[in-house]
Amino acid sequence: MRIKFMQRFLLILIASILMISAFTFIPLHRSIVFIDSGTERLAAYSLLTQPYFKIKYTHSIHLSDVIESFEVLPDNTLKMVELEYEDFNIGMPSNAGEGEIFVEEDGTYFIKNMDRRVPEFRILIGDVDAGLSLMKNGNEYDLKKTLVRGKTYTFRVQRLSFFQQLKGVNIDEQ
């Protein structure tokens, strides 16, 4: 009788350990991640609850806001779908590309219907007092408060385990 009790106890203990390990180490949570380009370590992340987000930054020359809108595809590819800006100055497009639509509304320019796909991109956190933020789910997160100025990060979408999340800063908790 005592042996059966010990067998059940060990079986339950092993099953519990396996379940906790799976929860801890199996990547489940789809996230926007910032990987330090120098160390290849996770620096920060933001849980992805909807497949759309925006990057908003202040253009370094004409000092007006630029908003890039993205859709995350099922294979985690980043698809740029829209560009919004206020000036035609240096570094900004003056027209739409093939298949895209150029629109001007109340002094703001839009390139819509974009289909530019990349698996990831590099982002430099400039050491100047200009805006740089991640916009998602109706919230705006200042990336310069979380990431180190003067450093370059690889920006991509990937699944993170609970253990991996412990290694980075959760941008959503700013």
Question: Residue 120 pLDDT more than 80?
Answer: yes
**What does the block give as tokens for 32?**
């926007």
CA distances from 79 to 45, 119, 130, 157, 163 (A): 19, 9, 25, 11, 28
Please report the pLDDT score of residue 25 as a whole number.
65
Please report the pLDDT score of residue 21 as a whole number.
66
In the chain, the percentage of residues whose pLDDT exceeds 70 is 96
Please report the pLDDT score of residue 46 as a whole number.
95
CB under 8 Å to 155, separation ≥6 — which residues? 32, 33, 34, 78, 120, 121, 122, 123
pLDDT-based confidence at 135, cuts 50/70/90?
A: very high
CB under 8 Å to 69, separation ≥6 — which residues? 52, 53, 54, 80, 81, 82, 83, 84
Please report the pLDDT score of residue 2 as a whole number.
73
Going from N- to C-terminal start, the domains of the chain cover 27-173
Backbone angles phi, psi at 162, to 5 degrees: -60, -40
Please report the pLDDT score of residue 89 as a whole number.
72
**What does the block give as tokens for 128?**
């100047």
Q: How far apart, in whole angstroms, are the C-alpha atoms of residue 132 and residue 53?
A: 14
Residues 125 and 149 sit within 8 Å (Cβ to Cβ): yes
Q: How far apart, in whole angstroms, are the C-alpha atoms of residue 70 and residue 75?
A: 14
Please report the pLDDT score of residue 43 as a whole number.
95
Smallest Cα–Cα separation from 69: which of 37, 35, 100? Answer: 100
Q: In sequence order, what are the beta bridge partners of 139?
A: 136
pLDDT higher at 83 or 164: 83
Please report the pLDDT score of residue 97 as a whole number.
86
Please report the pLDDT score of residue 52 as a whole number.
97
Q: In sequence order, what are the beta bridge partners of 79?
A: 71, 117
Range in 12-21, 123-132, 151-160 with the lowest mean pLDDT? 12-21
Task: Tell me the average pLDDT of the chain.
Answer: 88
Average pLDDT over residues 106-129: 92
Q: What is the DSSP letter of 39?
A: T
pLDDT-based confidence at 5, cuts 50/70/90?
A: confident
